[in-house]
């Protein structure tokens, strides 16, 4: 069964301070999403969809699209490439965008923008996170068995392994029972608590370092798109003229789960996760990638 990797790369990266989706961070200047693409193809994915800003297409096509067009998997399969654009043109006509609004409407809106180019079971990820090859293998194998409706997948990570030494992070904190997601709460400002341990600074809620965190590595059937559309329109009606409101994919998944429309299976993976929330994270990420190349996990060149 053909599976697709969907990469959300339209975010502005305000906390990072630059366009981290295309920042060279590997030993030979590879952006993080190059590792995601390489790992996904090794795991069995045969199509890549980039969700980007329209003005980014030329850069993404040069960095990845043209190279993937001449890349073949180990079994000889060609890799299909498609593009989807996250901008205000995809917002329903009933909603009037606040003049001061600059950023897109978040990850749920981003994925909804890819509805016309994704027709296969798919995995969706952030462009600026490293998930590890094992996570893609686990996800790919589960996607080949995913029902056409009513089920979804998520790779869960241990919260303490997803933090940044440079500042607070935003994570979806998951309640899991027997491998099935029971609830997910978006915590937007997770950091070290003055009294010890971890907490969400916004709410004051203490968190366990071993909590399961969603890093936006989800698996869906194409039947998820009508639910995304319905939830995004409800979000817009509630958001009003708030110029900073965002519709988060974990929140939509949890709403569908709570309504009994979706069963989310949480996949376990031994993969290492790291990302670049802040510019100061880049040195540690670069060293981690260098070590992975040196140990033979990655060849000197990922894509031709």
Domain residue extents for the chain: 4-294
Q: Cβ distance 118 to 6 under 8 Å? A: yes
CATH class of the domain at 4-294: alpha beta
Q: Is the dihedral of CA 72, 75, 76, 79 positive or negative?
A: negative
pTM above 0.85, yes or no: yes
Looking from the CA of 288 toward its CB, the CA atoms found within 13 Å total 16
- pLDDT computed for residue 14 by the predictor: 42
- pLDDT computed for residue 249 by the predictor: 92
CA distance 279 to 35: 19
Q: Is the dihedral of CA 226, 181, 188, 158 positive or negative?
A: negative
- pLDDT computed for residue 17 by the predictor: 40
Cβ-based neighbours of 145, under 8 Å, separated by 6 or more: none
Q: From 252, 5, 225, select the one nearest 106 (Cα to Cα).
A: 252
Q: Cβ distance 220 to 152 under 8 Å? A: yes
Q: What is the pLDDT along the chain (304 residues), one digit of tens a residue?
A: 899 999 999 864 444 344 556 778 999 999 999 999 999 999 999 999 999 999 999 999 999 999 998 888 888 889 999 999 999 988 999 999 999 998 889 999 999 999 999 999 999 999 989 999 999 999 999 999 999 999 999 999 999 888 888 889 989 899 999 999 999 998 989 999 988 899 999 999 999 999 999 898 999 999 999 999 999 999 999 999 999 899 989 889 999 999 999 999 999 877 778 888 788 888 989 999 999 999 999 999 998 8
Cβ-based neighbours of 74, under 8 Å, separated by 6 or more: 42
Q: From 248, 241, 231, 95, select the one nearest 172 (Cα to Cα).
A: 248
Q: Cβ distance 4 to 121 under 8 Å? A: yes
Q: Is the dihedral of CA 193, 194, 195, 196 positive or negative?
A: positive
Between the CA of residue 46 and those of 23, 63, 78, 205, 274, what are the distances in Å?
A: 25, 18, 7, 42, 24
């Amino acid at each position: 069964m053909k599976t697709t990797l969907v990469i959300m790369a339209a975010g502005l990266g305000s906390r990072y301070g630059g366009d981290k989706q295309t920042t060279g961070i590997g030993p030979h200047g590879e952006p993080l999403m190059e590792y995601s693409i390489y790992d996904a193809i090794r795991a069995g994915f045969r199509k890549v969809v980039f969700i980007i800003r329209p003005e980014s297409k030329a850069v993404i096509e040069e960095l990845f699209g043209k190279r993937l067009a001449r890349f073949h998997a180990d079994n000889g399969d060609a890799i299909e490439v498609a593009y989807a654009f996250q901008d205000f043109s995809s917002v329903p006509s009933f909603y009037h965008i606040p003049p001061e609004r600059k950023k897109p409407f978040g990850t749920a809106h981003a994925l909804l923008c890819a509805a016309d180019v994704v027709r296969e079971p798919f995995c969706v990820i952030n462009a600026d996170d490293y998930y590890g090859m094992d996570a893609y293998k686990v996800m790919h194998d589960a996607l080949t068995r995913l029902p056409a409706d009513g089920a979804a997948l998520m790779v869960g990570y241990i919260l303490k392994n997803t933090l940044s030494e440079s500042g607070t992070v935003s994570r979806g904190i998951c309640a899991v029972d027997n491998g099935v997601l029971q609830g997910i709460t978006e915590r937007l400002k997770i950091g070290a608590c003055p009294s010890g341990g971890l907490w969400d600074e916004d709410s004051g809620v203490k968190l366990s370092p071993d909590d399961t965190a969603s890093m936006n590595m989800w698996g869906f059937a194409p039947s998820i798109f009508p639910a995304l559309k319905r939830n995004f329109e409800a979000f817009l009606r509630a958001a009003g003229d708030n110029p900073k409101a965002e519709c988060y994919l974990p929140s939509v998944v949890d709403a569908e789960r709570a309504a009994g429309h979706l069963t989310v299976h949480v996949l376990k993976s031994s993969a290492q996760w790291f990302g670049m929330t802040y510019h100061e994270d880049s040195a540690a990420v670069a060293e981690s990638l260098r070590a992975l190349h040196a140990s033979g996990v990655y060849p000197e060149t990922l894509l031709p």
